[in-house]
């Protein structure tokens, strides 16, 4: 028997064993992790590793009904949509892969409109994930901004495929090592890109703490889109996204708030399990 099960009342049970959802479809893996976290007595899962491999030409496949159910529930509770969350990691609406120099065009366009993006949402006052990846600038004298994605792309194109060279940081100790009890940003700490086989690419993101309801689906979607963008620049195809959460919690909404949604989601998963 788990020692924690003995010393803690049932309502405070914290599961410390890892969770690896079996499905490689983004939507189904998210749903299975959400439902496990929704089980009676479970308050946290640690760690959780989501591996997505269900892609078509680098574009992730989703279960549209699961995403619709989640977006409706998030709207009801005043949360941002999956699309809005994903856009903080990769602004897919600004990328046109069919034009020449599309990466440079994306970087330039995003930098031009960044003041408007920052002004539109107070959550952006410290930056957002895509800008940290494309304009990383520590708060120290004479620091110069670094476009980490461009560096990774250029490094790979020059023939240097060293794995440790193909990573980018989000966490900045000069800005983020503060004593706030709740910081909000950044939750994503780092991303890494790794060649797989002859033409594949994987992307991995690490979160020390992740909110399952409000953020996780959009996080997965954003990482997949970022990986697809990087794969296109490296003449590869995205074949895997891995998201590692050291600790996973439901988030700011309790189980009672989310129970009707969870019940509907569980019924949907049971009804369609044979289709997987």
If one counts every other C-beta atom within 10 angstroms of the C-beta of residue 96, the result is 10
Provide the pLDDT for residue 83. 97
The continuous run of DSSP H or E covering 52 comes out as: strand 48-52
Residue 25 near residue 259, CB atoms below 8 Å:
no
Token pair of 242 as six digits:
């891995």
CA distance 131 to 188: 13
* Domain extent listing, the chain: 3-252+262-275
Provide the pLDDT for residue 7. 44
Residue 173 near residue 190, CB atoms below 8 Å:
no
Provide the pLDDT for residue 216. 98
Provide the pLDDT for residue 180. 65
Provide the pLDDT for residue 256. 92
If one counts every other C-beta atom within 10 angstroms of the C-beta of residue 192, the result is 16
Residue 251 near residue 215, CB atoms below 8 Å:
yes
Residue 167 near residue 193, CB atoms below 8 Å:
yes
Please tell me whether the peptide bond between 47 and the residue prior to it is cis, using omega within 30 degrees of 0: yes
> pTM (2 decimals)?
0.91
Provide the pLDDT for residue 10. 47
Residue given tokens 């988030």 in the structure block = 251
How high is the mean pLDDT in each 10-residue block of the chain (276 residues)? 42 69 96 94 92 97 97 96 96 96 97 89 74 91 93 95 92 76 77 96 97 97 98 98 96 92 95 73
If one counts every other C-beta atom within 10 angstroms of the C-beta of residue 129, the result is 24
Provide the pLDDT for residue 181. 63
The continuous run of DSSP H or E covering 202 comes out as: strand 200-207
Mode of pairing for the β-strands spanning 59-60 and 55-56: antiparallel
Provide the pLDDT for residue 231. 98
CA distance 71 to 99: 32
CA distance 149 to 152: 5
If one counts every other C-beta atom within 10 angstroms of the C-beta of residue 2, the result is 12
Provide the pLDDT for residue 55. 98
CA distance 36 to 119: 38
Question: Is domain 3-252+262-275 annotated with CATH 2.40.160?
Answer: no
């Amino acid at each position: 028997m788990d020692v924690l099960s003995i010393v803690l009342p049932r309502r405070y049970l914290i599961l410390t064993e890892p969770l690896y959802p079996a499905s490689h479809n983004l939507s189904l893996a998210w749903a299975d992790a959400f439902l496990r976290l929704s089980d009676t007595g479970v308050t946290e899962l640690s760690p959780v590793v989501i591996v997505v491999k269900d892609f078509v030409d680098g574009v992730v496949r989703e279960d549209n009904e699961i995403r619709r159910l989640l977006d409706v529930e998030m709207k009801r509770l005043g949360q941002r949509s999956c699309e809005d969350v994903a856009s903080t990691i990769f602004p897919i609406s600004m990328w046109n892969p069919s034009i020449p120099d599309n990466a440079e065009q994306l970087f330039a366009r995003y930098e031009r409109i960044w003041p408007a993006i920052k002004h539109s949402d107070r959550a952006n006052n410290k930056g957002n994930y895509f800008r940290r990846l494309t304009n990383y600038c520590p708060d120290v004298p004479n620091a110069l901004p670094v476009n980490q994605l461009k560096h990774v792309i250029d490094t790979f194109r020059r023939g240097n495929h060293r794995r440790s060279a193909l990573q980018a940081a989000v966490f900045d100790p000069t800005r983020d090592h503060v004593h706030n009890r709740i910081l909000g940003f950044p939750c994503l700490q780092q991303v890494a890109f790794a060649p797989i086989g002859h033409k594949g690419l994987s992307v991995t993101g690490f979160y020390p703490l992740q909110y399952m309801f409000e953020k996780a689906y959009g996080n997965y979607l954003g990482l997949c889109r970022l990986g697809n963008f990087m794969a296109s620049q490296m003449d590869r195809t995205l074949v895997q996204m891995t998201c590692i959460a050291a600790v996973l919690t439901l988030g700011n909404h309790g189980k009672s708030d989310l129970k009707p949604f969870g019940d509907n989601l569980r019924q949907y998963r049971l009804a369609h399990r044979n289709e997987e």
